[in-house]
Structure 1
Amino acid sequence: MGIKKKIQYFLAIFLTVMYLIWRIFFTIPWTASFFTLLFALLLVTSEILSSFTAFLLIIFRLMKDKSDKKIEDPKFDLNEPAPSIDVIIVTHNEEVDLLRKTVNAAKFMEYPDPKLVNIVIADDGNRPDVKALADEYSVQYIGMENNKDAKAGNINNALRQLNSTLLTVFDADMIPFSNYLMASVPFFTKNFADLKSDPDNTEKIGFIQTPQSFYNADIFQFNLFLESSVVNEQDYFSRDINVLNGASGHALFTGSNAVFLRESVDRVGLFPTDTITEDFELGARINSAGYISLATEVAVSSGITPVDIKSVIKQRVRWARGVIRSGKNMHIFTNPNITFLNRIILINTWLYWWSFFRRLIFIIAPILYALFHIQVVNANFWLLMIFWAPGYFSLHHVLGDTPTNIRNERWGEIQETFFAPYIFLPVILETIGIRAKKFKVTDKKVNFSWKDKLYSIPYLILWGLTLFSIIIFNYGKWGSEILYGSVITFWLLMQFINLSFCVFISMKRNINRKSERFMRKTSGKIKYNGEWLPFKTRDVSDAGLSMELCNEDSRAVLERGQKVEGILYHKSYPIHFDGLVMRSSGQGAEKWYGLVSEIKNNEDRNHYLELIYDGQNKFVAAEQDNWLTTLDELNLNIIFHLNKIERSIMKKFNKNSR
Structure 2
Amino acid sequence: MLELHPTEQQSAYAVVAIVFGVALVTPFVLRRETVSHRVLIFAVAIVLSARYIVWRATETLAPFGATWDCLVTWSFFLIEAAALVSSFSAFVILMRRKNRSPEATAARNWWRPAPPPKVAVLIATYNEEKEVLARTIAGAKALEHPHTVVYVLDDGRRDWLADYCREQAVNYLRRPDNKGSKAGNLNHAVAWLTERGEVPDFVAVLDADFVPHRNFLTRALALFHRHNVGLVQTPQHFFNPDPIQHNLGLSRSYPDEQRFFFDHLQPSRDGWDIAFCCGTSSVVRWTALVDVGGFPTESVTEDFLMTLVLEAKGWHTAYLNEALTEGLAPEGLREYVTQRARWCLGLMQIVRSDYGPFSLRMPLRLRDRWSVLDSLLYWVTTYPFRLAAFIYPLLYWYFGTIAVYASVPEILSHFGAYYVWTLFALNFISRGLVIPIVNDVSQLLGAIPIIRATWTGLIRPKNRSFKVTAKGGDRSQFVVQWRMMAPFLILAALTLVGLFVGFLSDRFVFSDAGEGKSIVLFWSLYNLMTLAVTMMVCVEMPRIESHLDDRPQRVLMRLDDGLHRVWLTDLTQQSALVRGVVLAEGSPVEISVRDVGDVSGYVIETTPDGGLISLDTTDRQYEALLRRLYAEGSAPGVTRTRIGAILHDLVFGSHVR
Report the TM-score, using the length of structure 2 for normalisation.
0.84
- Partner-residue secondary structure (3-state), 2:433: coil
Determine which of 195, 200, 205 is the counterpart of 1:169: 205
Cα offset, 1:144, TM superposition: 0.8
Cα offset, 1:514, TM superposition: 5.2
1:578 corresponds to? 600
2:275 corresponds to? 251
CA distance in 2, matches of 1:463, 1:634: 21
Cα offset, 1:472, TM superposition: 4.5
Distance verdict in 2 for CA 1:7–1:135, change over 3 Å: closer
1:656 corresponds to? none
Alignment of 1:350 onto 2:376: yes
Amino acid at match of 2:465: K
- Partner-residue secondary structure (3-state), 1:217: coil
The answer on whether the counterparts of 1:518 and 1:539 sit within 8 Å (CA) in structure 2 is no
Amino acid at match of 1:12: A
2:330 corresponds to? 306
- Partner-residue secondary structure (3-state), 2:307: helix
1:612 corresponds to? 629
2:226 corresponds to? 191
1:507 corresponds to? 539
1:570-606 Cα shifts (integer Å, max 9, x gaps): 0xxx5342210234445xxxx4442111113x22221
The answer on whether the counterparts of 1:40 and 1:376 sit within 8 Å (CA) in structure 2 is yes
Aligned-residue RMSD, C-alpha: 3.2
2:49 corresponds to? 16
Amino acid at match of 1:283: T
1:196 corresponds to? none
Amino acid at match of 1:582: I
Distance verdict in 2 for CA 1:130–1:321, change over 3 Å: same
More deviation, 379-388/168-177: 379-388
Determine which of 60, 74, 79 is the counterpart of 2:93: 60
The answer on whether the counterparts of 2:38 and 2:95 sit within 8 Å (CA) in structure 1 is no
1:281 corresponds to? 305
The answer on whether the counterparts of 1:520 and 1:539 sit within 8 Å (CA) in structure 2 is yes
2:109 corresponds to? 77
Cα offset, 1:102, TM superposition: 0.6
Cα offset, 1:491, TM superposition: 2.3
The answer on whether the counterparts of 2:124 and 2:182 sit within 8 Å (CA) in structure 1 is yes
More deviation, 388-397/417-426: 388-397
Matches within 5 A, 1:163-562: 163-188=199-224, 190-192=225-227, 204-329=228-353, 330-335=355-360, 337-354=363-380, 355-379=382-406, 384-408=411-435, 410-433=437-460, 438-446=465-473, 452-473=481-502, 483-511=515-543, 513=544, 516=547, 519-520=550-551, 524-529=555-560, 531-535=562-566, 537-548=568-579, 555-556=581-582, 558-562=583-587
CA distance in 1, matches of 2:312, 2:342: 24
CA distance in 1, matches of 2:612, 2:434: 34
1:427-473 Cα shifts (integer Å, max 9, x gaps): 12222226675343111135679783221100111122233344455
- Partner-residue secondary structure (3-state), 1:120: strand
- Partner-residue secondary structure (3-state), 1:402: helix
Alignment of 1:86 onto 2:120: yes
Cα offset, 1:299, TM superposition: 1.6
Cα offset, 1:616, TM superposition: 6.2
CA distance in 1, matches of 2:560, 2:45: 71
Amino acid at match of 1:60: I
1:99 corresponds to? 133
More deviation, 166-175/558-567: 558-567
Distance verdict in 2 for CA 1:436–1:636, change over 3 Å: farther
Cα offset, 1:280, TM superposition: 1.5
Distance verdict in 2 for CA 1:473–1:446, change over 3 Å: farther
Displaced runs of 4+ in structure 1, greater than 6 A? 67-71, 447-451, 478-482, 616-619
The answer on whether the counterparts of 1:405 and 1:623 sit within 8 Å (CA) in structure 2 is yes
CA distance in 2, matches of 1:532, 1:382: 70
2:20 corresponds to? none
- Partner-residue secondary structure (3-state), 1:170: strand
1:56-96 Cα shifts (integer Å, max 9, x gaps): 333223233xx787766425237444221110001112122
CA distance in 1, matches of 2:503, 2:272: 49
The answer on whether the counterparts of 2:239 and 2:548 sit within 8 Å (CA) in structure 1 is no
Distance verdict in 2 for CA 1:307–1:205, change over 3 Å: same
The answer on whether the counterparts of 1:546 and 1:593 sit within 8 Å (CA) in structure 2 is yes
Identity value in percent: 22
2:153 corresponds to? 122
CA distance in 2, matches of 1:144, 1:276: 19
Distance verdict in 2 for CA 1:138–1:629, change over 3 Å: closer
1:540-566 Cα shifts (integer Å, max 9, x gaps): 1111112356xxxxx44x422211234
The answer on whether the counterparts of 1:212 and 1:299 sit within 8 Å (CA) in structure 2 is yes
1:136-158 Cα shifts (integer Å, max 9, x gaps): 12222221111221111100000
The answer on whether the counterparts of 1:109 and 1:179 sit within 8 Å (CA) in structure 2 is yes
CA distance in 2, matches of 1:124, 1:69: 35
1:404-443 Cα shifts (integer Å, max 9, x gaps): 3433355332211121133212212222226675343111
1:645 corresponds to? none
Alignment of 1:564 onto 2:589: yes
Cα offset, 1:289, TM superposition: 2.6
Amino acid at match of 1:147: N
Cα offset, 1:333, TM superposition: 2.6
Cα offset, 1:100, TM superposition: 1.5
CA distance in 2, matches of 1:183, 1:352: 31
The answer on whether the counterparts of 2:73 and 2:403 sit within 8 Å (CA) in structure 1 is yes
- Partner-residue secondary structure (3-state), 1:519: coil
Amino acid at match of 1:442: T
Distance verdict in 2 for CA 1:382–1:342, change over 3 Å: same
- Partner-residue secondary structure (3-state), 1:458: helix
1:31 corresponds to? 64
Cα offset, 1:54, TM superposition: 2.3
The answer on whether the counterparts of 1:400 and 1:409 sit within 8 Å (CA) in structure 2 is no
1:596 corresponds to? 614
Distance verdict in 2 for CA 1:392–1:525, change over 3 Å: closer
The answer on whether the counterparts of 2:90 and 2:374 sit within 8 Å (CA) in structure 1 is no
Q: Name structure 2 gaps, 5 residues minimum.
A: 1-29, 194-198
CA distance in 2, matches of 1:63, 1:619: 26
More deviation, 131-140/385-394: 385-394
The answer on whether the counterparts of 1:213 and 1:299 sit within 8 Å (CA) in structure 2 is yes
The answer on whether the counterparts of 1:522 and 1:569 sit within 8 Å (CA) in structure 2 is no
Amino acid at match of 2:487: P
The answer on whether the counterparts of 2:292 and 2:309 sit within 8 Å (CA) in structure 1 is yes
The answer on whether the counterparts of 1:301 and 1:615 sit within 8 Å (CA) in structure 2 is no
- Partner-residue secondary structure (3-state), 1:17: helix
CA distance in 2, matches of 1:522, 1:251: 39
1:385-414 Cα shifts (integer Å, max 9, x gaps): 554443333333323322434333553322
CA distance in 2, matches of 1:69, 1:542: 34
CA distance in 1, matches of 2:514, 2:56: 23
Amino acid at match of 2:87: A
The answer on whether the counterparts of 2:256 and 2:638 sit within 8 Å (CA) in structure 1 is yes
More deviation, 403-412/241-250: 403-412
CA distance in 1, matches of 2:181, 2:289: 18
CA distance in 2, matches of 1:11, 1:213: 32
Amino acid at match of 1:264: A
Q: Name structure 1 gaps, 5 residues minimum.
A: 193-203, 550-554, 641-658
CA distance in 1, matches of 2:457, 2:494: 29
More deviation, 458-467/535-544: 535-544
